[in-house]
């Protein structure tokens, strides 16, 4: 793995066990890209905070060097259309973050985040309301056919058991059939 950045201090953000190469310079410098190994690269991620630069670097990687896997970061949502015009795979943390905030604020019920098969089983996300503060997870689940995937509190997820004490705002991920998720949701809103 090779990382190119024009700011040498940016390399201090890498973990101490980073084993790749770092090269200082402009991401559009053809000689630097070739020194980085773009001609043999299997993947490229263009992740600057300049969407136009990301788009051009990604386009060059794909069209000139035939890099098979190219992904770009979309920093400014108003520029997403530009990147889409290149037909690139896009990761837009700003748009995703805004969508996620909206989901959490406008929470209305169990939300399926993954479905297996034809939807017979899913992973559902449920937010714990204030009325369940301090109550046990086992009390919430009761005899439903649900398996706890994770409990997230203040952005930190963990595996847990039926004895876990719930807090308002916790996010519970359950594996269940739709009727099982609805039963748990009904308990949540019913108190």
Q: Which domain holds residue 6?
A: 2-95
* The pTM of the whole model exceeds 0.75: no
What pLDDT sits at residue 53?
93
129 and 170, same structural domain? Answer: yes
- Evaluate whether residue 54 is within a structural domain: yes
What pLDDT sits at residue 79?
87
Of the candidates 188, 173, 179, the one whose C-alpha atom is nearest the C-alpha of residue 119 is 179
Of the candidates 122, 140, 141, the one whose C-alpha atom is nearest the C-alpha of residue 132 is 140
- What gap in Å lies between CA 150 and CA 161, rounded to an integer? 9
Burial of 99 (0-12, 13-18, 19+ CB in 10 A): exposed
Residue ending a domain, among 36, 71, 95, is 95
- pLDDT, tens only, 111-126: 888 888 877 899 999 9
């Amino acid at each position: 793995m090779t990382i190119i950045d024009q700011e040498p201090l940016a390399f201090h953000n890498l973990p101490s066990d980073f084993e790749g190469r770092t090269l200082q310079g402009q991401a559009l410098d053809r000689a630097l890209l070739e020194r980085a190994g773009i001609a043999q690269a299997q993947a490229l991620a263009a992740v600057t905070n300049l969407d136009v630069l990301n788009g051009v670097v990604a386009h060059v990687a794909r069209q000139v060097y035939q890099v098979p896997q190219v992904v770009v970061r979309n920093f400014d949502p108003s520029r997403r259309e530009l990147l889409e015009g290149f037909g690139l795979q896009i990761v837009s943390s700003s748009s995703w973050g805004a969508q996620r905030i909206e989901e959490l604020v406008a929470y209305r019920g169990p939300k399926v985040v993954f479905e297996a098969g034809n939807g017979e089983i899913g992973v559902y996300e449920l937010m714990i309301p204030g009325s369940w503060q301090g109550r046990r997870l086992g009390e919430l689940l009761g005899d439903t056919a649900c398996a706890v995937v994770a409990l997230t509190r203040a952005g930190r997820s963990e595996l847990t058991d039926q004895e876990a004490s719930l807090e308002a705002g916790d996010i519970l991920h359950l594996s269940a059939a739709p009727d099982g998720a609805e039963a748990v949701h009904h308990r949540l809103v019913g108190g």
